Amino acid sequence: MELVNDIIKNPSGWDSLDNYIGETEFGEWRCLLTQNRDSDTLTRSNFISAMNELDGHDSDNVKILRFGHWACGWWEMIAVKHNTREHLEALDIENRMKDYPVVNEDHWSELEWNEAQDYWNDLSLREKVDLCKEHNISIFSARLSYIPDNDTGSLYEYLRN
Q: Write out pLDDT tens, residues 70-126.
A: 667 788 999 999 999 999 999 999 999 999 999 999 999 999 999 999 999 999 999
Instruction: Indicate the pTM of the whole model.
Output: 0.83
Q: How many CA atoms lie within 13 A of 143 on its CB side?
A: 2
Rounded-to-integer distance, Cα 6 and Cα 17, Å: 10
DSSP letter at 87?
Answer: H
Highest mean predicted confidence (pLDDT) among 13-22, 23-32, 63-72, 77-86:
77-86
Residue 127 contacts residue 155 (beta carbons within 8 Å): no
User: Which pLDDT score, from 0 to 100, does residue 127 have?
Assistant: 97
Rounded-to-integer distance, Cα 75 and Cα 84, Å: 25
Strand ranges (E), the chain: 2-3, 29-36, 62-69, 73-81
Number of H helices, E strands in the chain: 6, 4
Rounded-to-integer distance, Cα 67 and Cα 26, Å: 14
Domain boundaries defined on the chain: 2-103, 109-160
Residue 80 contacts residue 86 (beta carbons within 8 Å): yes
